[in-house]
Amino acid sequence: MSWSLGLDRLPGVVTVRTYRREWLRPDVTAGLALIGLLIPAGMGYATAAGLPAYTGLYATIVPLLAYAIVGPSRVLVLGPDSALAPLIAAAVLPLAAASGDPQRAVALAGVLAVLVGTVLLVAGFLRLGFVTDLLSKPIRIGYLNGIALVVVIGQLPTLLGIDVDADDVLGRIGTVAGEAVTGGIDLLATAVGVGSLAVMVTCRMLRIRIPGVLVAVVGAIALSALLGLGDDIAMVGALPRGLPAPSFGGVGWNDVVTMLGPAVAIALIAFADTAVLSRTFAARRGADVDGSAEMRAMGV
Protein backbone atom coordinates (compact mmCIF):
# COMPACT_ATOMS: atom_id res chain seq x y z
CA MET A 1 0.00 0.00 0.00
CA SER A 2 2.77 2.44 0.92
CA TRP A 3 4.59 1.68 -2.36
CA SER A 4 1.42 2.35 -4.32
CA LEU A 5 0.88 5.63 -2.48
CA GLY A 6 4.47 6.60 -3.22
CA LEU A 7 3.99 6.01 -6.95
CA ASP A 8 0.79 8.03 -6.92
CA ARG A 9 2.75 11.03 -5.69
CA LEU A 10 5.25 11.03 -8.54
CA PRO A 11 4.76 14.17 -10.68
CA GLY A 12 4.60 12.18 -13.92
CA VAL A 13 1.93 9.83 -12.56
CA VAL A 14 -0.09 12.79 -11.28
CA THR A 15 0.10 14.46 -14.69
CA VAL A 16 -1.05 11.32 -16.50
CA ARG A 17 -4.01 10.87 -14.13
CA THR A 18 -5.12 14.47 -14.62
CA TYR A 19 -4.26 14.70 -18.32
CA ARG A 20 -6.63 16.61 -20.59
CA ARG A 21 -7.44 15.64 -24.15
CA GLU A 22 -6.86 19.18 -25.44
CA TRP A 23 -3.21 18.95 -24.35
CA LEU A 24 -2.46 16.04 -26.68
CA ARG A 25 -2.04 17.91 -29.98
CA PRO A 26 0.37 20.60 -28.72
CA ASP A 27 2.27 17.96 -26.74
CA VAL A 28 2.71 15.78 -29.83
CA THR A 29 3.82 18.82 -31.85
CA ALA A 30 6.32 19.78 -29.16
CA GLY A 31 7.57 16.20 -28.96
CA LEU A 32 8.20 16.00 -32.71
CA ALA A 33 10.03 19.33 -32.65
CA LEU A 34 12.18 18.17 -29.75
CA ILE A 35 13.08 14.97 -31.58
CA GLY A 36 14.38 17.03 -34.45
CA LEU A 37 16.33 19.27 -32.09
CA LEU A 38 17.70 16.74 -29.62
CA ILE A 39 19.02 14.16 -32.07
CA PRO A 40 21.62 16.45 -33.70
CA ALA A 41 22.19 18.38 -30.47
CA GLY A 42 22.78 15.24 -28.42
CA MET A 43 25.18 13.81 -31.00
CA GLY A 44 27.00 17.13 -31.32
CA TYR A 45 27.43 17.56 -27.56
CA ALA A 46 28.69 13.99 -27.24
CA THR A 47 31.32 14.72 -29.88
CA ALA A 48 32.25 17.94 -28.07
CA ALA A 49 32.73 15.88 -24.90
CA GLY A 50 35.14 13.57 -26.73
CA LEU A 51 32.71 10.65 -26.98
CA PRO A 52 31.30 8.77 -30.00
CA ALA A 53 28.35 10.59 -31.55
CA TYR A 54 25.91 7.72 -30.98
CA THR A 55 26.35 7.96 -27.20
CA GLY A 56 24.57 11.30 -27.40
CA LEU A 57 21.44 9.48 -28.56
CA TYR A 58 21.49 7.15 -25.56
CA ALA A 59 22.04 10.10 -23.23
CA THR A 60 19.00 11.79 -24.75
CA ILE A 61 16.46 8.95 -24.45
CA VAL A 62 16.77 7.78 -20.84
CA PRO A 63 16.92 11.19 -19.08
CA LEU A 64 13.76 12.32 -20.87
CA LEU A 65 11.83 9.30 -19.64
CA ALA A 66 13.21 9.52 -16.10
CA TYR A 67 12.52 13.24 -15.69
CA ALA A 68 9.03 12.89 -17.15
CA ILE A 69 8.20 10.58 -14.24
CA VAL A 70 9.97 12.23 -11.30
CA GLY A 71 10.59 15.83 -12.42
CA PRO A 72 8.57 18.55 -10.65
CA SER A 73 8.48 20.88 -13.66
CA ARG A 74 5.76 20.15 -16.21
CA VAL A 75 7.44 22.01 -19.08
CA LEU A 76 11.16 21.43 -18.53
CA VAL A 77 13.02 18.95 -20.75
CA LEU A 78 16.35 17.42 -19.71
CA GLY A 79 18.92 16.23 -22.20
CA PRO A 80 22.55 16.69 -23.22
CA ASP A 81 23.88 20.14 -22.32
CA SER A 82 26.52 22.09 -24.23
CA ALA A 83 27.69 23.78 -21.03
CA LEU A 84 28.70 20.43 -19.55
CA ALA A 85 30.45 18.98 -22.60
CA PRO A 86 33.84 20.67 -21.97
CA LEU A 87 33.70 19.70 -18.29
CA ILE A 88 33.02 16.06 -19.17
CA ALA A 89 35.82 16.10 -21.73
CA ALA A 90 38.25 17.59 -19.21
CA ALA A 91 37.40 14.88 -16.66
CA VAL A 92 37.26 11.88 -19.00
CA LEU A 93 39.72 12.38 -21.86
CA PRO A 94 42.97 12.59 -19.82
CA LEU A 95 42.11 9.30 -18.08
CA ALA A 96 41.06 7.66 -21.36
CA ALA A 97 44.16 8.81 -23.24
CA ALA A 98 46.43 6.90 -20.86
CA SER A 99 44.99 3.56 -22.00
CA GLY A 100 44.63 4.25 -25.72
CA ASP A 101 41.27 2.41 -25.79
CA PRO A 102 38.52 4.61 -27.31
CA GLN A 103 35.80 2.65 -25.52
CA ARG A 104 37.36 3.47 -22.17
CA ALA A 105 36.16 7.05 -22.56
CA VAL A 106 32.58 5.78 -22.82
CA ALA A 107 32.97 3.68 -19.67
CA LEU A 108 34.54 6.59 -17.79
CA ALA A 109 31.74 8.91 -18.90
CA GLY A 110 29.22 6.34 -17.61
CA VAL A 111 30.91 6.23 -14.21
CA LEU A 112 31.04 10.03 -14.16
CA ALA A 113 27.29 10.16 -14.87
CA VAL A 114 26.61 7.78 -11.97
CA LEU A 115 28.75 9.92 -9.66
CA VAL A 116 26.98 13.12 -10.70
CA GLY A 117 23.57 11.50 -10.20
CA THR A 118 24.58 10.22 -6.78
CA VAL A 119 25.83 13.66 -5.71
CA LEU A 120 22.53 15.25 -6.80
CA LEU A 121 20.43 12.59 -5.06
CA VAL A 122 22.32 12.92 -1.78
CA ALA A 123 22.21 16.71 -1.94
CA GLY A 124 18.50 16.64 -2.75
CA PHE A 125 17.67 14.43 0.24
CA LEU A 126 19.78 16.75 2.42
CA ARG A 127 17.59 19.65 1.24
CA LEU A 128 20.47 21.55 -0.35
CA GLY A 129 18.41 22.94 -3.20
CA PHE A 130 19.01 26.46 -1.91
CA VAL A 131 22.66 26.46 -3.05
CA THR A 132 21.81 28.02 -6.40
CA ASP A 133 20.59 31.12 -4.58
CA LEU A 134 24.22 31.69 -3.54
CA LEU A 135 25.44 31.95 -7.15
CA SER A 136 25.32 35.55 -8.32
CA LYS A 137 24.07 36.43 -11.79
CA PRO A 138 27.43 37.89 -12.97
CA ILE A 139 29.15 34.60 -12.07
CA ARG A 140 26.61 32.54 -14.01
CA ILE A 141 26.71 34.86 -17.04
CA GLY A 142 30.50 34.89 -17.06
CA TYR A 143 30.64 31.12 -16.74
CA LEU A 144 28.10 30.50 -19.50
CA ASN A 145 29.82 32.93 -21.88
CA GLY A 146 33.16 31.31 -21.13
CA ILE A 147 31.76 27.86 -21.81
CA ALA A 148 30.20 29.14 -25.04
CA LEU A 149 33.61 30.35 -26.21
CA VAL A 150 35.23 27.02 -25.31
CA VAL A 151 32.55 25.09 -27.22
CA VAL A 152 32.80 27.37 -30.28
CA ILE A 153 36.59 27.14 -30.41
CA GLY A 154 36.47 23.40 -29.82
CA GLN A 155 34.13 22.87 -32.75
CA LEU A 156 35.85 25.24 -35.19
CA PRO A 157 38.14 22.49 -36.57
CA THR A 158 35.12 20.27 -37.27
CA LEU A 159 33.29 23.16 -38.92
CA LEU A 160 36.28 23.87 -41.17
CA GLY A 161 37.10 20.20 -41.87
CA ILE A 162 40.48 20.33 -40.10
CA ASP A 163 42.13 17.56 -38.10
CA VAL A 164 43.48 18.91 -34.80
CA ASP A 165 45.57 17.00 -32.27
CA ALA A 166 45.72 19.78 -29.66
CA ASP A 167 43.33 19.46 -26.71
CA ASP A 168 43.79 22.97 -25.24
CA VAL A 169 42.01 26.08 -26.50
CA LEU A 170 45.16 27.98 -27.52
CA GLY A 171 46.48 24.96 -29.39
CA ARG A 172 43.25 24.65 -31.36
CA ILE A 173 43.28 28.35 -32.21
CA GLY A 174 46.88 28.12 -33.42
CA THR A 175 46.16 25.06 -35.55
CA VAL A 176 43.07 26.62 -37.14
CA ALA A 177 44.95 29.84 -37.87
CA GLY A 178 47.85 27.92 -39.41
CA GLU A 179 45.57 25.84 -41.62
CA ALA A 180 43.71 28.97 -42.71
CA VAL A 181 46.97 30.58 -43.82
CA THR A 182 48.24 27.49 -45.66
CA GLY A 183 44.90 26.73 -47.29
CA GLY A 184 44.22 23.55 -45.36
CA ILE A 185 40.55 24.33 -44.83
CA ASP A 186 37.99 22.00 -46.43
CA LEU A 187 35.84 24.43 -48.39
CA LEU A 188 32.98 21.96 -48.93
CA ALA A 189 32.68 21.10 -45.23
CA THR A 190 32.93 24.80 -44.37
CA ALA A 191 30.17 25.65 -46.85
CA VAL A 192 27.81 23.07 -45.35
CA GLY A 193 28.58 24.17 -41.78
CA VAL A 194 28.34 27.90 -42.40
CA GLY A 195 25.21 27.37 -44.50
CA SER A 196 23.59 25.47 -41.62
CA LEU A 197 24.45 28.28 -39.20
CA ALA A 198 23.03 30.83 -41.64
CA VAL A 199 19.76 28.89 -41.89
CA MET A 200 19.41 28.74 -38.09
CA VAL A 201 20.14 32.45 -37.66
CA THR A 202 17.76 33.39 -40.48
CA CYS A 203 14.93 31.32 -39.02
CA ARG A 204 15.39 33.04 -35.68
CA MET A 205 15.53 36.54 -37.21
CA LEU A 206 12.39 35.90 -39.27
CA ARG A 207 10.72 34.27 -36.23
CA ILE A 208 9.75 31.21 -38.23
CA ARG A 209 7.78 28.80 -36.06
CA ILE A 210 9.70 25.76 -37.31
CA PRO A 211 12.96 25.42 -35.31
CA GLY A 212 15.93 26.58 -37.34
CA VAL A 213 18.02 23.62 -36.15
CA LEU A 214 15.43 21.23 -37.56
CA VAL A 215 15.38 23.04 -40.91
CA ALA A 216 19.19 23.00 -41.07
CA VAL A 217 19.46 19.31 -40.18
CA VAL A 218 16.80 18.17 -42.66
CA GLY A 219 18.24 20.43 -45.36
CA ALA A 220 21.79 19.17 -44.80
CA ILE A 221 20.64 15.54 -44.91
CA ALA A 222 18.71 16.13 -48.14
CA LEU A 223 21.64 17.99 -49.67
CA SER A 224 24.09 15.24 -48.74
CA ALA A 225 21.83 12.58 -50.22
CA LEU A 226 21.15 14.46 -53.47
CA LEU A 227 24.75 15.47 -54.12
CA GLY A 228 26.35 12.32 -52.72
CA LEU A 229 28.53 14.18 -50.23
CA GLY A 230 29.19 11.05 -48.17
CA ASP A 231 32.51 10.52 -49.96
CA ASP A 232 33.64 14.14 -49.55
CA ILE A 233 32.58 15.02 -45.99
CA ALA A 234 33.00 12.96 -42.84
CA MET A 235 29.62 11.52 -41.78
CA VAL A 236 28.48 10.09 -38.48
CA GLY A 237 28.01 6.73 -40.16
CA ALA A 238 25.89 3.75 -39.21
CA LEU A 239 24.82 3.57 -35.57
CA PRO A 240 25.12 0.39 -33.48
CA ARG A 241 21.86 -1.55 -33.43
CA GLY A 242 19.88 -1.66 -30.20
CA LEU A 243 20.75 -0.12 -26.85
CA PRO A 244 24.05 -1.02 -25.18
CA ALA A 245 24.24 -2.85 -21.87
CA PRO A 246 25.78 -0.78 -19.04
CA SER A 247 29.48 -1.50 -18.82
CA PHE A 248 32.16 0.01 -16.62
CA GLY A 249 34.93 -2.34 -17.72
CA GLY A 250 38.48 -1.12 -17.20
CA VAL A 251 37.51 1.61 -14.73
CA GLY A 252 39.30 1.28 -11.40
CA TRP A 253 38.77 2.87 -8.01
CA ASN A 254 41.58 5.33 -8.69
CA ASP A 255 39.60 6.61 -11.66
CA VAL A 256 36.50 6.97 -9.51
CA VAL A 257 38.37 8.97 -6.87
CA THR A 258 39.91 11.19 -9.57
CA MET A 259 36.47 11.98 -11.02
CA LEU A 260 34.81 12.80 -7.69
CA GLY A 261 35.86 16.44 -7.84
CA PRO A 262 34.66 16.98 -11.41
CA ALA A 263 31.42 15.13 -10.56
CA VAL A 264 30.63 17.59 -7.76
CA ALA A 265 31.40 20.54 -10.05
CA ILE A 266 29.26 19.17 -12.89
CA ALA A 267 26.39 18.42 -10.49
CA LEU A 268 26.45 21.97 -9.12
CA ILE A 269 26.61 23.62 -12.55
CA ALA A 270 23.98 21.34 -14.11
CA PHE A 271 21.60 21.97 -11.23
CA ALA A 272 22.23 25.73 -11.24
CA ASP A 273 21.33 25.99 -14.93
CA THR A 274 18.33 23.67 -14.71
CA ALA A 275 16.95 25.16 -11.49
CA VAL A 276 16.95 28.67 -12.93
CA LEU A 277 15.04 27.49 -16.01
CA SER A 278 12.62 25.47 -13.92
CA ARG A 279 11.84 28.38 -11.62
CA THR A 280 11.50 30.76 -14.58
CA PHE A 281 8.97 28.53 -16.36
CA ALA A 282 7.10 27.89 -13.13
CA ALA A 283 6.87 31.62 -12.36
CA ARG A 284 5.27 32.25 -15.75
CA ARG A 285 2.51 29.83 -14.79
CA GLY A 286 2.13 31.23 -11.31
CA ALA A 287 3.56 28.04 -9.79
CA ASP A 288 6.52 27.22 -7.58
CA VAL A 289 9.17 24.48 -7.79
CA ASP A 290 10.96 22.96 -4.82
CA GLY A 291 14.70 23.19 -5.51
CA SER A 292 15.48 20.05 -3.53
CA ALA A 293 12.83 18.09 -5.43
CA GLU A 294 14.35 19.36 -8.68
CA MET A 295 17.77 18.24 -7.48
CA ARG A 296 16.53 14.73 -6.66
CA ALA A 297 14.81 14.48 -10.07
CA MET A 298 18.03 15.43 -11.83
CA GLY A 299 19.88 12.84 -9.76
CA VAL A 300 17.51 10.13 -10.96
pLDDT in tens, 165-181: 655 666 667 777 776 66
**Domain-located, residue 83:** yes
Cα gap 128→149, rounded to integer Å: 30
- Domain membership of residue 226 (yes or no) is no
State how far the Cα of 106 lies from the Cα of 112, in Å rounded to an integer.
Answer: 10
Number of domains comprising the chain:
1
Q: In this structure, which amino acid lies at residue 85?
A: A
- Domain contains 219: no
Give the integer Cα–Cα distance in Å for 208 and 193. Answer: 20
Task: Please check whether residue 197 lies inside any domain of the structure.
Answer: no
Where is pLDDT greater, at 114 or 4? Answer: 114
Give tens-digit pLDDT for 241-289: 777 777 777 788 888 898 999 999 888 888 877 776 676 666 677 777 7
pLDDT of residue 223: 86
Q: Does some domain include residue 220?
A: no
Q: Is residue 204 part of a domain?
A: no
Residue 159 within a domain: yes
- What residues make up the domain containing 21? 2-186+233-299
Tell me the pLDDT tens digit for each residue of 37-96: 788 778 878 887 888 888 888 888 888 888 888 887 777 777 777 778 878 888 888 888
Share of the chain above pLDDT 90, in %: 6
pLDDT band at 112 (very low <50, low <70, confident <90, very high): very high
- HSE at residue 39, side-chain half, CA atoms within 13 A, is 11
pLDDT confidence band for 135 (50 / 70 / 90): low
Full-prediction pTM beyond 0.75? no
Domain-embedded: residue 223: no
